[in-house]
Amino acid sequence: MILTIGDSFTYGAELANREHDAWPYVLARKLNLNVDNLACPGGSNDRMFRITVDRVVQKNYKLVIIGWTEPSRLDLMFNGEELQITSASYHYHARFPWIKQYYAEHYDLRHATQTWLAQVLALQDFLKQREQKYVFVSMNGQWEEYYYKNLDLEHMANAVDREHYLGWPQEGFTHWQDNAPIGSSGHPLELGHQRIADKIYEHIRNQFWVS
Amino acid sequence: MILTIGDSFTYGEELPDRTSQAWPYLLAKKLDTTVTNLGKCGGSADRCFRVIINNLSRNKYKLVIVAWPFPHRIEAWDNISNSPVCTNQNSVNSNLPWVDDWYKFSYNKDHAFERWSCQILALQSFLKQIKQDYLFLNVAGLQGDYDLYEKKLGHIWSNIDKTKYLGWPELGMIEFQGDCPIGPGGHPLELGHQRIAETIYDFNNR
């Protein structure tokens, strides 16, 4: 069994048959394994961090893959409902008026990125110590533009284990899908997911995790 | 040099001379070293997690002590001071008018405890991996919250390295200070900080 977690790119948003065509399912077939895909649309890094720790202490997976997203998203729960909030979650703005003010006045990119990098660094050590094979990937590699040059976070970014973070720091899903067709909301369609699965599979094979 | 982080209990709130009377400074004196004290009034668990990993990606210390605050606090960015700010549902913070609504419509205690528990476990892994000596403690023992969340979070808590967690789960700084006088804001005064420093010192030397 492999565990995948991420946002809409890992969930398979905009696919006609996501449980067949999204990259976690394509990859699982290539590996001849089952997949527990816990991604959700709008999924935050906070949620990925929380759920990965929760699951991995309960079960050892053949492989854990986290598709990290952009760092602005919030992980909330209210009345038993898990809420993943982004600055563009306009459908939540009416229900939760504080969100608009939060993003307008009390959100900072460096602060959010530092929080995310702390999660990446802690989680890679957590997985390593539990001898849990894992791969980290990004929805969209943005390192040179945002992090390295502008945010003074290179000391944290340099501590990322590049052997386990595929494409770090420049590449991510949006690069690997290349010029494949995308849906109206910008998500990869079947061909894009195949390319993403191929890229991750190639990495896993290069690590000698599969023959 | 040692590094300490936590909330107002670690900062030394309500002490006349916190940089000589708060437990981080007393402990450093007992250990014959200096201290970088990153305690902050209202400090959150999120802040502890973020700041410690950021700091230790650049520096190494003789000992790192994380005095975890109550997990319900949140951390956001304050555009006025241009710095992170932590708050909770009891704070009246005019800079953060959305906080009331956040706690009213979006806060869940179970979720906050789960998030904090994951931070504890992952931070222990990080500190072990970089071979940084450390210890954790809580502001207060979990008391009823332990029983409340043991069923939901026991599988995470059972993985905590208790040899590095002073007082887990039933004791914290409030219990360590015992019946010492406290300030109007509920913080330990000189004697309470001395007892906390002694308890940490004994645990570290055990």
Q: Is residue A183 part of a domain?
A: yes
Q: Is residue A99 part of a domain?
A: yes
Q: Is residue A32 part of a domain?
A: yes
> Residue A151: pLDDT band by 50, 70, 90 thresholds?
confident
User: Cβ A129–B125 below 8 Å, yes or no?
Assistant: yes
Out of B99, B108, B118, name the one closest to residue A53 (CB). Answer: B118
Distances, alpha carbon B130 to alpha carbons A97, A135, A186, B38, B56, in Å: 42, 20, 40, 20, 9
Q: What is the pLDDT of residues B78-111, one digit of tens each?
A: 777 777 777 776 665 556 667 777 787 778 889 9
> Residue A211: pLDDT band by 50, 70, 90 thresholds?
low
Residue A22 has what pLDDT? 98
Residue B16 has what pLDDT? 97
Q: What is the pLDDT of residues A117-130, one digit of tens each?
A: 999 999 999 999 99
Q: Tell me what the pLDDT averaged over chain B comes to.
A: 92
Q: Is residue A15 part of a domain?
A: yes
Domain that holds residue A55: 2-206
**Residues A118/A153, Cβ–Cβ less than 8 Å:** no
Distances, alpha carbon A192 to alpha carbons A43, A188, B52, B61, B82, in Å: 20, 5, 38, 47, 41
Residue B57 has what pLDDT? 94
Q: B29 to chain A nearest CA, in Å?
A: 30
Residue A87 has what pLDDT? 82
> Residue A140: pLDDT band by 50, 70, 90 thresholds?
confident
Residue predicted with more confidence, B97 or B202: B202
Task: Tell whether the model's pLDDT for residue B165 goes beyond 70.
Answer: yes
User: Cβ A83–B106 below 8 Å, yes or no?
Assistant: yes
% of chain A exceeding 70 in pLDDT: 96
CA-based max dimension of chain A: 52
CATH code of residue A30: 3.40.50.1110
User: Cβ A111–B84 below 8 Å, yes or no?
Assistant: yes
Tell me the C-alpha distance between B183 and B18, whole Å: 13
Q: Is residue A211 part of a domain?
A: no
Query: Locate tokens 């000189």: which residue?
Result: B190
Q: Is residue A21 part of a domain?
A: yes
Residue B132 has what pLDDT? 98
Tell me the C-alpha distance between A45 and A38, whole Å: 13
Q: Is residue A101 part of a domain?
A: yes
> Residue A114: pLDDT band by 50, 70, 90 thresholds?
very high
Task: Tell whether the model's pLDDT for residue B194 goes beyond 60.
Answer: yes
Which residue of B55, B106, B115, B134 to mutate against A (max A Cβ within 10 Å)?
B106
Q: B111 to chain A nearest CA, in Å?
A: 6
Lowest mean pLDDT among A68-72, B29-33, B191-195: A68-72
Domains of chain B: 2-205 (3.40.50.1110)
Rg (CA), chain A: 17
> Residue A202: pLDDT band by 50, 70, 90 thresholds?
very high
Interface of B with A (CB under 8 A): 46, 49-50, 52-54, 57-58, 76-79, 84, 96-99, 101-102, 105-108, 110-111, 114-115, 117-119, 121-123, 125-126, 128-130, 155-156, 158-159
> Taking residues A140-148, what's their average pLDDT?
66
Q: What is the pLDDT of residues B9-57, one digit of tens each?
A: 999 999 999 999 999 999 999 999 999 999 999 899 999 999 999 999 9
Number of domains in chain A: 1
Q: Is residue A197 part of a domain?
A: yes
Q: What is the pLDDT of residues A74-109, one digit of tens each?
A: 898 877 788 898 888 888 877 787 888 888 888 888
Residues of B in contact with A128 (CB under 8 A): 125, 129
Query: Locate tokens 């332990």: which residue?
Result: B146
> Residue A147: pLDDT band by 50, 70, 90 thresholds?
low
